Amino acid sequence: MVIAEVSIFPLGTGEPGVSEYVAAAVRELEASGLKCTLGPMGTTVEAETPEEAYAAIARAQAAVLELGVGRAYTVVKMDERLDVEGRSTEDMMRSVRERSGAR
C-alpha cells in the first residue's frame, strides 16, 4: 500500500489565489479512482503501487498546466509499507492518536 501527499503549485499566474488550479488537480486525482482526501496543504492519495500513485499525480500536474500556466511545481511525499496489508490513512492516524492519548 502506498500513501502519498501531493501539492501542486502553479507558477506565474499573477494572482495569489490558486483554488482554480487546485480544483483541477483534485478533479483529476479523483477521476483516477484512487482514494483521495483533500487537506489544507495538500491532497492525500492512497494507491496499491507507487506507479499507480505516480500516474495519477502526473495527470493532476498536467491538468494544472492545461489551464495555461507555464510552470507547475509539484511536491510529493510518499510512504510505501510492504509489511502491513490494507493500511490506510485512518489506520496511520489512529495509531498515533492511541499512542499520544489524543482523540
103, pLDDT greater than 70: no
Residue whose entry in the numeric block shows the C-alpha cell 492512497: 46
Neighbours of 70 (CB within 10 A): 9
Residue boundaries of the structural domains of the chain: 2-100
pLDDT digits 0-9 by tens, 41-73: 999 999 999 999 999 999 999 999 999 999 999
Residues contacting residue 72 through CB under 8 Å, at least 6 positions apart? 8, 9, 10, 11, 21, 61, 64, 65
Q: For domain 2-100, is the CATH number 3.30.70.930?
A: yes
Res 44: pLDDT: 96
Question: Half-sphere exposure of 38 toward its Cβ, with a 13 Å CA cutoff?
Answer: 10
